[in-house]
Chains A and B, each alone.
Chain A
C-alpha cells in the first residue's frame, strides 16, 4: 500500500474527493448539454458569500454555503422560467456580485483570511471525520437523484420543448438540476475550492465527450476520468508538496489533453 494511505487524513481526503469526483461531472454533463456550464462558475462565486457568512457567524461554512448556493440556484432558475433575462446575462451579472458581496463581508470582519483561502482554493486534506458524513449523505442524494431521473433529465436538457409536449414535468426537473448543482458546488468547495469547482464539473465531462460514442458512455467515462484525476492529483500533491485542489484540476486537464490527442490520432 502507498505510504500516503497510512494517514487517516489522506484516507478522508480520498473518500471526500471520490464522492465529489462522482457527482461533479455527473452534474457537469447535464449542464454542458443545456449550454449552462457557466452556472457552476456563478454558483461557486456566490458560494463565497456563504463561506463569509459562516465564518462571520461562527457557523459551519459548508451549511451556510449550501444555503446560499441553493437560494441562488432557485433565483437563476426562476429568472430563466420567467424569461425576463437570458441565461448568460444572469450568470454574467451574478459572477461579480458574489465576489463583491463576499469581499464586503470579509472586510467587515478581519481575521479569517487563512480560512477563506482554504475555501477559495480547497483544502481537501483538512476534511474532518464529522465532515465526511454530510458529504457522503449529500453526495448520495445527488447521485441517487441523477440515477433515478436520468432519462427524464436527459430529455429535458436535450430538448426541453419536446419533453414538455411528452408530458414530462420540465419545470420541476430544471429546478431539481439547479438544486443538485448548488449542492455539488457547496460540497466541492472543500475539495478543489470555489475558484476551481467548475473545472471539476466541466473538464471531465469534456473528456468523456471526446472518448464516448453515446451520452451514456460519455457520462461514465467522465466519472472514471474525474475519479482518476482526484486519485492521481492527491498522490502527486502529497509527494510533490503541491496544493491538492489545483493539482487535481491540472491532472484532469492533462487527461483531457491525452484524450484529445488520442482522438485526433484516430
Chain B
C-alpha cells in the first residue's frame, strides 16, 4: 500500500473569529486524481493554502510526502497552478518568460511546453492567448522540475467549453501516462466528476471522500451546496 503524499489529521482553521475549516482529516495517495469540491467560501482554497504553506497551520497535523509540513523543504515535488489571473499587465510577458522565471534551463522549458502542446506559441505574449492556452502555460511552469504532485485551484474559471475539454484531457494524460498525482479544486462538482478518480467534498468540514459515482446522493449534494441540486455529469 502506497504512503500518502498528503495527510491531514484533524485540521481546523479560523480567519479571526470565523471558522473556515473544522476537523478535516484527509489522505491523498500517490497517483490519485482528486477533485476537491465544495461551494464558494466552503474552505477549499484555505485547505489548499495550508497544504502549500501559504497559511500557517493552526490546529491539527499536516504531512507532505511523509514530512511535517512545517519542516517540508522539497517544494520542487509540488507544482501549483493558481486561479486564473484576470489582471492584464502593462508590459508584455512571453510564454517562455513565464517559465524562465523559475530559473529552469532552456531544454527543460522546451520539454514542458512540448508536453502541454504549446511549443509553437513560445514567443507569444501570454495576453494574446486564449484562457485555455494561458492555463496550459501555467501548467507547463508547474511541471518544471518534474513534480510528483500537481495542485490546481479553479483552473477553468472563465475558460470556454472546448478549451475545458482539452484541458481535462491533458490532466488525465499527465495523471495516467506520467503518474502525476493531481489535486483539482473546483466549485463545480458536476464539471469535474467525470475526470477525477476521487472526490473530496468540503463545506467547512469534510462531507465526503471517495469515488465520484457514489456522489449521487441528493441529500449529500444539498448538504455540500446548501440547496437542492442534482449532479449532472459532463463527459469531456
Contact = CB atoms under 8 A, between A and B. Distances in A.
Interface of A: 29, 32-33, 35, 151-152, 154-155, 158-159, 161-167, 205-206, 208-209, 212-218
Q: Which of A152, A165, A209 has the most CB of B within 10 A?
A: A165
Interface footprint category on B:
20 to 34
Interface string B56-76: 000000000000000001011
Contacts of A165: 52-54, 75, 78, 80
Contacts of A158: 89, 93, 98, 101
Contacts of A152: 101, 103
A155 B101 contact: yes
A27 to B, nearest CB: 14
Contacts of A29: 91
B188 interface: no
A33 B101 CA distance: 14
Nearest to B124: A213
A113 B92 CA distance: 44
B177 interface: no
A213 B91 contact: no
Interface string B111-140: 000000000000101000000000000100
B92 A151 contact: no
A257 B62 CA distance: 55
B17 interface: no
A215 B80 contact: no
A209 B89 CA distance: 10
Contacts of A35: 87
Contact of A214 (B73, B82, B97): B97
A239 B93 CA distance: 40
A218 B101 contact: no
Contact of B92 (A166, A167, A212): A212
B91 A218 contact: yes
A110 B217 CA distance: 81
A33 B90 contact: yes
A235 B73 CA distance: 55
B137 to A, nearest CB: 11
Contacts of A154: 97, 101
Contact of B93 (A151, A164, A208, A214): A214
Contacts of B73: 167
Given A164-B54, A165-B80, A155 B102 contact: yes
A162 B92 contact: no
A162 B82 contact: yes
B103 A151 contact: yes
Interface string B84-113: 010101111110111011110000000000
B80 A162 contact: yes
Contact of A163 (B90, B92, B94, B101): B101
A195 to B, nearest CB: 23
Nearest to B52: A165
B141 interface: yes
B69 to A, nearest CB: 13
Contacts of A32: 89-91
A166 B54 CA distance: 11
Contacts of B103: 151-152
A167 B93 CA distance: 22
A215 B90 contact: no
A40 to B, nearest CB: 14
Given A33-B89, A165-B54, A167-B75, 16 more contacts: A29-B91, A32-B91, A151-B101, A158-B93, A158-B98, A161-B54, A161-B80, A163-B101, A165-B78, A166-B102, A167-B76, A205-B91, A208-B91, A212-B91, A213-B123, A214-B94
A216 B97 contact: yes
